[in-house]
Amino acid sequence: MNKTRNFIIGLFFTALLIFLLYTTWLITRPLPLEIQGEIEATQFRVASKIPGRIDSIAVKKGQKVVKGDFLFSISSPEIDAKLLQVTALRNAAQAQSMKAQNGAQSEDIQAAYNMYLKAEAAARLYEKTFTRVENLFRDGVVSEQKKDEAETQMKAGRETANAAKVQWEKAVKGARSEDKRSAQELVNQAEGGIAEVEAYLAETQAKAPASGEVANIVSERGELVPTGFPVITILDTEDSWATFYVREDLLSDIRMGSEIKTTIPALGNREVTFKVNFISPMADFATWTSTKTSGGFDMKSFEIHAVPTTEIEGLRPGMSVLVSLP
């Protein structure tokens, strides 16, 4: 009886000792450190360069789009009015340039030529008159005053004829080369204004800058949006990566190009290999871990990016990625 009781007591204490030893081993054994990351992807925030009211939206959330697809349009009456203004300025500048290039009209040239002929005939008449008066003056028939008057009329008539000839030649030649260039530059300036307004007008039709999936639509039809306000967000799900924040004491085994084994809970704990392609050159001071309550130093964390080595079907931004480190 006593032997049985002693055996049971000994067995109990043996089991208790084994339990305590096992519990101590579980508590003191080194456990692998698990780091949680997150899948991210390239985002495109589509906005317009001009303010206006949203006229139409051609896509919905979750819709797949291809680069160049129409997304939304903005109505801007101010741009339409500005286009009418610069078009009118261009037309006026072209008319002035054509006038400078073509010169005076044939009627104006003929009128200038007739004025020249008239002035030339008068000048010749004054020259003949002066010759007669000068001969009479030598014969003592007329006074010196009459001779001087005839000479003055002759000179004035000749100058008038010369001026009429210059006006006729100017009408024939047309505008000066500098005036022609100036008129053409005004046309070029107006063309530049039209090109600028048309560029703004093209911005009223927003198109997808890249292929991807519509992640968010901020504004709705009829809403007024300012310049540069993102209306639609597109995610390029094919350009995704995992972001981790790793303590500095765990960086010894992580290098650029090194591969890490991970599991993705959202994909049924699927094991996936990622390759490190970015390590932040500076620690992120916003995510630090204190090593001691007093004394010692604080462990800073570094941002690390890693891309999957193979294509992962079903991988989406926001999924958690787990890494176990010894």
Same domain, 315 and 242: yes
Answer yes or no: is pLDDT of 51 > 90.
Answer: no
Q: How far apart are CA 262 and CA 264, in angstroms?
A: 7
Q: What sign does the dihedral 117-122-127-131 (CA atoms) show?
A: positive
Higher pLDDT, 310 or 193: 310
Answer yes or no: is pLDDT of 253 > 80.
Answer: no
**Helix, strand or coil, per DSSP, at residue 29:** coil
DSSP string, 227-276: TT---EEEEEEEEEEEEEEEEGGGGGG--TT-EEEEEEGGGTSEEEEEEE
Domain boundary among 199, 226, 259: 199
| Average pLDDT, integer, range 224-248 | 88
Q: How far apart are CA 117 and CA 243, in angstroms?
A: 93
pLDDT at res. 90: 75
Domain presence at residue 94: yes
Q: How far apart are CA 285 and CA 133, in angstroms?
A: 112
Which stretches of the chain are DSSP H helices?
2-28, 77-102, 106-138, 144-173, 177-202
Same domain, 192 and 247: no
Same domain, 88 and 169: yes
Lowest-pLDDT range, 129-138, 207-216, 269-278?
129-138
**Helix, strand or coil, per DSSP, at residue 41:** strand
Domain presence at residue 37: yes
Domain presence at residue 153: yes
Domain presence at residue 73: no
- Cα angle value 177/180/182 (rounded, 5°): 110
How many alpha carbons fall within 13 Å on the CB side of residue 7? 4
Sheet holding 52-57, edge to edge: 205-207, 70-75, 52-57, 224-225
Domain presence at residue 63: no
pLDDT band, residue 80 (cuts 50/70/90)? confident
Domain boundary among 173, 199, 225: 199
Answer yes or no: is pLDDT of 267 > 80.
Answer: yes
Answer yes or no: is pLDDT of 305 > 60.
Answer: yes
Higher pLDDT, 300 or 30: 300
Q: What sign does the dihedral 209-214-218-222 (CA atoms) show?
A: positive
Domain presence at residue 66: no
Same domain, 114 and 178: yes
- Classify residue 21 by burial, with Cβ atoms within 10 Å: 0-12, 13-18, 19+: exposed
| Average pLDDT, integer, range 102-108 | 60
Domain presence at residue 254: yes
Domain presence at residue 230: no
Q: What is the count of structural domains for the chain?
A: 2
pLDDT at res. 3: 64
| Average pLDDT, integer, range 95-103 | 64
Answer yes or no: is pLDDT of 290 > 60.
Answer: no
Q: Which domain holds residue 154?
A: 81-199
Whole-number mean pLDDT of the chain? 79
pLDDT at res. 112: 72
Same domain, 242 and 139: no
Same domain, 179 and 282: no
For the ranges 170-174, 216-220, 322-326, the maximum mean pLDDT occurs at 216-220
CATH number where 291 lies: 2.40.30.170
| Average pLDDT, integer, range 216-237 | 88
pLDDT at res. 102: 57
